[in-house]
Amino acid sequence: MAATIIDGKSFAETLRGRVAGHVTRLKAEHALTPGLAVVIVGEDPASQVYVSSKAKLTVEVGMASFKYELPAETPEAELLALVHKLNEDSQVHGILVQMPVPAHIDPNKVIDAISPDKDVDCFTPANVGKVQIGLPGPVSCTPLGCLLLLREYLGSLEGLNAVVLGRSNLVGKPMAQLLLRENCTVTIAHSRTRDLAEVVRRADIVVAAVGRPLMVKGDWIKPGATVIDVGINRVPAPERGEGKTRLIGDIDYAAAVEIAGAITPVPGGVGPMTIACLLANTVTCASLING
Report the C-alpha gap between 11 and 149 in whole angstroms.
8
In this structure, which long-range contacts are made by residues 16-23, counting pairs with CB atoms below 8 Å and at least 24 apart in sequence? 16/57, 16/60, 16/61, 16/276, 16/279, 18/280, 19/61, 19/276, 19/279, 19/280, 19/283, 20/60, 20/61, 20/62, 22/283, 22/287, 23/61, 23/62, 23/63, 23/283
**76 vs 258 by CB, closer to ligand GUN:** 76
Ligand-binding annotation for 129, yes or no, is: no
229 flagged as catalytic: no
Ligand-binding annotation for 166, yes or no, is: yes
Ligand-binding annotation for 234, yes or no, is: no
Catalytic hit among 54, 118, 173, 222:
54
Closest by CA to 225, choosing from 209, 201, 208, 249, is 201
Q: Crossing angle, helix 8-30 and helix 45-60, to 10 degrees?
A: 50
* Pair 163, 205: CB distance under 8 Å: yes
Ligand-binding annotation for 251, yes or no, is: no
- Give the helix/strand (H/E) hosting 145: helix 141-154
Binding mask 77-116 for ligand GUN (x = CB under 6 A): -------------------xxxx-----------------
48 flagged as catalytic: no
Q: Which of positions 185-214 make contact with ligand GUN (CB under 6 A)?
A: none
Q: How far is the CB of 142 from ligand GUN (least distance, A)?
A: 6
Residues 6 or more apart whose CB falls under 8 angstroms from that of 46 comprise 234
**Which residue from 19, 61, 118, 121 is in contact with ligand GUN, where contact means CB under 6 A?**
121
Catalytic hit among 117, 118, 119, 121:
121
By CB under 6 A, tell whether 141 contacts ligand GUN.
yes
Catalytic hit among 98, 173, 222, 250:
98
Q: Which of positions 264-283 make contact with ligand GUN (CB under 6 A)?
A: 274
Q: How far is the CB of 148 from ligand GUN (least distance, A)?
A: 15
112 flagged as catalytic: no
- Does residue 66 sit in helix, strand or coil? strand
Q: How far is the CB of 82 from ligand GUN (least distance, A)?
A: 14
Which residues of the chain form contacts with ligand GUN (CB under 6 A)? 96-99, 121, 141-142, 274
What are the catalytic residues?
A: 54, 98, 121
Binding residues for NADP(+): 166-168, 232
